[in-house]
Structure 1
């Protein structure tokens, strides 16, 4: 083996380590930038939703607008619609709220504009699940509902599938509920109603939970820290190699590529 081979191998190993550190730093920095972009998007979303829920109500989207209804354009939009509840076709969806465990009461509303939309009238505890137990809270005449547009929740909850045949609902799946109740074509969204007038046993409305976790800054700082650590590791290795080459008599640990050096500087 020539004298230059160990040196070339050492340089190749150093280059490989440097490349790995650079790639790792670039990857971590890219993830950090992505989290910064996500944070900006999340802040815009929070501002947009806050404006929607405090805006004056507008007409609920009718059939001509259904094709364009989307979470980005319509979720949490404050709307108002008038019509009659089809109380005999209501469905109860299991729920957990600040009031405890119980059910959301989803009732079809036949609007004056000629379409049907599901309305989440609010929460009832288990003992008031049956409509007969809250008769004074079941309006029969014309009503006006103000609330927030919500997107359908297909299939069910985590590890819990809806069972339409048994009337067990774990999510507010508009299409499935409409099919199970024979409602025909309904709006592709539902409305979370604000509190409505009625008896003391009426469903408790206005319980929409609007939370958007925003931990992106913490994630970004974590990724940027890892990028700096990767760069620092590369600099440390490069500096150590530089010092070794500047001092050829420097004692290296046993098992190094150029052989172990004893205290006298001899190589064996």
Structure 2
């Protein structure tokens, strides 16, 4: 016969075990939902990237990222900012130059990749820039914060760059320009990398397998029944 204490402990273990199984199933289901959200996000971004360009907007939100836009204005020469970059062409810098729009507003243009802190001056006169709208990056780089005073830039922080260059107010985003400037020595545009990690299916399968293993162990434990106390000889 089992004691009341043994039954209570066994009941507590059973409840805890069931809670673990429910939690594992919940994690698996959450990853399935995350996968559906990620696939929808990828589809929406792809639609924006390949859509016809629209005029550069005055306001943006999270759903504006990677929207194909077109801006017309004059570059503000002598206001380049070089942001460290790692690209398919190797390490270097993004050349960020303000563009004064015909509307009077200013938007930062990522003209493209350069291997060193120098770039061919931007085209003069009115220019039409087509590219992808990118949201500002105010947090700096990984483990490295922007240092405007020392001209060390690790992220494309629109507000900080505009303030440093004296072109405020600027629109709250920047544009990754297409590879339209083919002059020798000009920044290489069109290098935007659009990649959204999507390992949610693998995570979901892992959680569900752990839930299945835990369930099998629980069933085996139930069938074994409580241990009976040894009887003396």
Q: How does 1:100-179 map to 2 (within 5 A)?
A: 100-126=90-116, 129-131=117-119, 134-135=120-121, 138-179=122-163
TM-score, normalised to structure 2, is 0.95
Q: Secondary structure at the match of 1:161?
A: coil
- Give the number of the structure whose alpha-carbon radius of gyration is greater: 1
In the other structure, the counterpart of 1:249 is: none
In the other structure, the counterpart of 2:168 is: 184
Q: Does 1:16 align with 2:4?
A: no
Q: Does 1:212 align with 2:159?
A: no
Shift of 1:16: 1.8
In the other structure, the counterpart of 1:46 is: 42
Q: Deviations over 1:66-111 (max 9, x none)?
A: 2xx112x200000001000112111000111111111000000000
Shift of 1:14: 2.4
Tell me how many residue pairs correspond in the alignment.
233
Unaligned runs of 5+ in 2: none
Shift of 1:10: 3.1
> 1: distance between equivalents of 2:150 and 2:181?
31
> 2: distance between equivalents of 1:29 and 1:199?
57
Q: Secondary structure at the match of 2:78?
A: helix
Is the 1:14–1:238 Cα contact (8 Å) retained in structure 2?
no
Q: Secondary structure at the match of 2:51?
A: coil
Q: Deviations over 1:120-151 (max 9, x none)?
A: 0000012xx224xx35xx21111000000101
Is the 1:14–1:237 Cα contact (8 Å) retained in structure 2?
no
> 1: distance between equivalents of 2:155 and 2:56?
22
Return the match for 1:32 from 28, 31, 34. Answer: 28
Is the 1:139–1:198 Cα contact (8 Å) retained in structure 2?
no
Q: Deviations over 1:9-29 (max 9, x none)?
A: 332232222111110000010
Q: Secondary structure at the match of 2:170?
A: coil
Q: Deviations over 1:173-197 (max 9, x none)?
A: 0000011111110000000000123
In the other structure, the counterpart of 1:253 is: none
Greater than 3 Å deviation, 4+ residue runs: none
Q: Does 1:258 align with 2:229?
A: yes
Is the 2:181–2:187 Cα contact (8 Å) retained in structure 1?
no
Is the 2:67–2:132 Cα contact (8 Å) retained in structure 1?
yes
Q: Does 1:88 align with 2:78?
A: yes
TM-score, normalised to structure 1, is 0.83
